Amino acid sequence: MSVVVVGLSHHTCPLELLERCALDADAVTALCRTLTGADDVTEVAVLATCNRLEVYVETRRFHAAVTAVGQALAAATGVGLGELQDGLFIHFEEAAVRHLFEVSGGLDSMAVGEGQILGQVRTALRIAEEAGTCGRVLGPMLRAALRAGKRVRTDTELDGVGRSLLGTGLDLAAGILGPLDRARVLVVGAGAMSSLAVATARRAGAATVTVASRTLEHADRLAGTAGASAVPMTDLAPALADAELVITATGAPGQVLDVDAASAALAARNGAPQVYLDLALPRDVAPEVADLPGAHVVDLEVLGHELATGNGAVMPALAAARSVVAEEVAAYLASRSAGAVAPTVVALRARASAVVEAELGRLASRLGEVDARVLAEVEQTVHRVVEKLLHTPTVRVKELASGPQGETYARALRELFDLETPCTDPAVVGLGPAPLRALNGGAS
């Protein structure tokens, strides 16, 4: 059995394609269940964020699994497989593990070091477990990745110096509007990112903060935590006209602010500049709003460019974070390898125990009445001999488990002693060539 990840990210495809491939929690659950019904796929977990959609599977056959994932992604997103191929990357086994750990540590994010990815990985694990598609392989792998991400944040400075999407967006807004301590801010949405936006705007000293949401109860709850005000989406127009900075993060499937709404707000402002900080995918703000006089749109594409050109201060912390991730990957792989050979060790000792018990029983039946102390001494001697004979191969297979020869040695023991344990070596389960374009060091 092997682990494969097939996905899209801001590294491999444009924002427009990521936007079309965005999936909500229900769609992620459905995708997990669809794939576990595919041939040769035993476990599935899906990591869906604003700048990535990644499918992790445990599989018996690499070729079949990649084909199944590609087809399932096309069906779930409504984007043709031919179009998806240009943006898909594939990682296999150790490369897949390393990729997940780097993602969890914030090393692969658009905003390097951002902390939200940990919650998103945790959500991927929760959804897969609730869907019943994540078990003995992907569950421990995702939990180990979460531990790695936590270590990056506690043992390095990356969390502190890595600029977040929100922080970068607010810096750009301040460059247009001036200091935000006098700004009127409208936050559209009431989810986790909106909550962070409200708290950050308050800390920046915004003159007013207003929260708008489709569900007024949610807007009231969020506003109440930060001394802000709340309005329903039906009263969005006046709030929009009053705001200098509009932050959107709704997670809605379509655009929330179109050109007409923005035009009306700008007209009411008599040409005063207005910044739209769009943190959503799909985008909340129509791209055409950027063409309106006085409107400045900062979306994920703009933020990605800004972050890609401004990471000099992050480099020392980034090196330390990569070191932590490398340690965690090595520890996880060693633990997994030891677990993979454990059935062989158990089977070997069970076979030896069965042979010993059978032979001692045969001896006792032949000897008839024997002094109990003599019989006990014979049994102890036989067990000691067998234990000494098994000691070296048992220790050796555990030592070799973390290296490339571990499974080869375990397989040799299974053959020599005719042990019935399942074969987990990917080299003998029939790997074929990847039917999709393998990028970034993927399998071929």
- pLDDT digit string, tens, across residues 337-377: 666 666 777 777 787 888 888 888 888 888 777 787 887 88
Closest CA to 249 of 49, 10, 106, 11: 49
Q: What is the pLDDT of residues 81-125, one digit of tens each?
A: 999 988 999 999 999 999 999 999 988 887 777 778 999 999 999
| Mean pLDDT for the stretch of residues 49-75 | 93
Instruction: Return the beta strands (E) in 52-197 as ranges.
Output: 52-59, 89-92, 184-188
Please give the positions annotated as active site.
50
Nearest to 102 by CA among 309, 315, 326: 326
Give the model's pLDDT for residue 133: 96
442 — pLDDT class (breaks 50, 70, 90): very low
Nearest Cα residue to 443 out of 31, 65, 119: 65
What pLDDT sits at residue 288? 94
Phi-psi region of 408 (alpha: psi -120 to 50; beta: other; left: phi over 0): alpha
- The mean predicted confidence, pLDDT, of the chain is 84
Q: Write down the pLDDT at residue 293.
A: 94
pLDDT at 439: 34
Q: What is the pLDDT of residues 133-151, one digit of tens each?
A: 999 899 999 999 999 999 9
In percent, the amount of the chain with pLDDT more than 70 equals 86
State the pLDDT at residue 342: 66
Tokens encoding 419: 């042990």
Instruction: Write down the pLDDT at residue 300.
Output: 86
Average of pLDDT values for 317-340? 84
Cα 198 from Cα 9, distance rounded (Å): 27
Give the residue-averaged pLDDT of 369-394. Answer: 81
Range of weakest confidence among 79-88, 284-293, 409-418: 409-418
396 by DSSP, 3-state: which? helix
Residue 432's pLDDT is what?
32
Cβ neighbors of 286 (< 8 A, separation 6 or more) are 255, 257, 258, 259, 262
Nearest to 393 by CA among 343, 344, 333: 344
Q: Lowest-pLDDT range, 55-59, 175-179, 440-444?
A: 440-444
Domains of the chain: residue spans and CATH: 2-161 (3.30.460.30), 165-304 (3.40.50.720)
